[in-house]
Structure 1
Amino acid sequence: MGIRVTGVMIYYYFVCKRKLWYFCHDINMESDNENVLLGKILDEGSYAREDKHINIDNVINIDFIKEQRELHEVKKSRAIEEASVWQVKYYLYYLKQRGVGEIKGKIDYPLLKKSIFVELSDEDVEKIEGIIDEITQIIQKEEVPVFSELKICNNCAYHDLCFI
């Protein structure tokens, strides 16, 4: 059986390959991180009327689904929007692989009072399949990927681990 690639892994792939590797090797630094805690508070306080946290196969965890067959991902800011977009595209891909079609994606930014729509194209499907292969390769490596400083490093839960 191959590695089960999750939505979080897709997100981390776009954020930072080191973070992805740490996460997949059960090195978790996020439980006490202030930014992560703020995100959880935002998640708990937003969209209270929705049936939230729909976990499918322990692979994808959709924040909520609206009646119009629209899945939603709630994010604190647009700082790492590309990662968020690909996470939602992966949700759409995963559902499509299981016979669920005609579903739309949306990323909600409640603090900004903005939303963006996300669709899955045939080109996206090809790219996701390549990303899944790359994630599998990263995870199977014995050593953490080489460090390269990024804009997001100062706010990352793994900051201290990378800067030792």
Structure 2
Amino acid sequence: MEHTSETVAEGKLIGETSYAERAVKYTELAIDGIKIDFYDAKNKVVHEVKKSDKVEQAHIAQVKYYLYILHKNGIDDASAIIEYPKMRQKQMIGWEEGDKATVEFWVEEIRKLINLETCPPLVKLKICKKCSYYDFCYSGEVLE
């Protein structure tokens, strides 16, 4: 759904304009269904740019999943930097004890959802309106 999302397009534009030199310096890495826009292969650092004006747990979870995929593919000791250009702030994220079990739990929970015969009930959260999957989750819903 992300390829049709205005939110994703806006975030990509912010990343490209805030760090214009990065596309030349770092590599885009597509592996096991993920696409890391900026990967510093020499230093094993994922750079994730967020358009948000606040740090969110979902951002950390996303890069933890990226680090998990890298580790599964033999790239050990990678780390990540989440960058927030609007706040002029960075957050360093490393792989910690227990992260593998946590990410594998998330993956298993997603597998369970995918294998359900019917969709689970809709959970309405504030963050939903900003999500690139909004139209998918709310298709057929009567909005109040």
TM-score normalised to structure 1 length: 0.70
Ranges in structure 2 where 5+ consecutive residues have no aligned partner: none
Find the counterpart in structure 1 of residue 16 from structure 2.
44
Structure 1 pair 35–80 and aligned structure 2 pair: CA distance change class (3 A) = farther
- Separation (CA, whole Å) in 2 of partners of 1:68 and 1:30: 29
- Separation (CA, whole Å) in 2 of partners of 1:129 and 1:47: 32
**Alignment-mate amino acid for residue 56 of structure 1:** I
Ranges in structure 1 where 5+ consecutive residues have no aligned partner: 1-27
Find the counterpart in structure 1 of residue 35 from structure 2.
61
**Alignment-mate amino acid for residue 102 of structure 1:** D
Structure of higher RCO (CA pairs closer than 8 Å, 6+ residues apart): 1
Q: CA offsets, 1:60-119, max 9 Å, x none?
A: 211212343211111111557211101111111111122211221111111221110111
Matches within 5 A, 1:101-140: 101-140=76-115
Report if aligned partners of 2:2, 2:8 keep a CA contact under 8 Å in 1: no
Structure 1 pair 69–151 and aligned structure 2 pair: CA distance change class (3 A) = same
**Alignment-mate amino acid for residue 58 of structure 2:** A
Overall identity of the aligned pairs, in %: 35
- Separation (CA, whole Å) in 2 of partners of 1:156 and 1:88: 17
1:96 partnered with 2:71: yes
**Alignment-mate amino acid for residue 154 of structure 1:** K
**Alignment-mate amino acid for residue 73 of structure 1:** E
Find the counterpart in structure 2 of residue 161 from structure 1.
139
Report if aligned partners of 1:147, 1:162 keep a CA contact under 8 Å in 2: no
Q: CA offsets, 1:14-44, max 9 Å, x none?
A: xxxxxxxxxxxxxx4872x543332232133
- Separation (CA, whole Å) in 2 of partners of 1:156 and 1:162: 17
Structure 1 pair 68–29 and aligned structure 2 pair: CA distance change class (3 A) = closer
SS at match of 1:136: helix
- Separation (CA, whole Å) in 1 of partners of 2:48 and 2:79: 11
TM-score normalised to structure 2 length: 0.78
Matching residue within 22, 29, 50 for 1:75 = 50
RMSD: 2.4
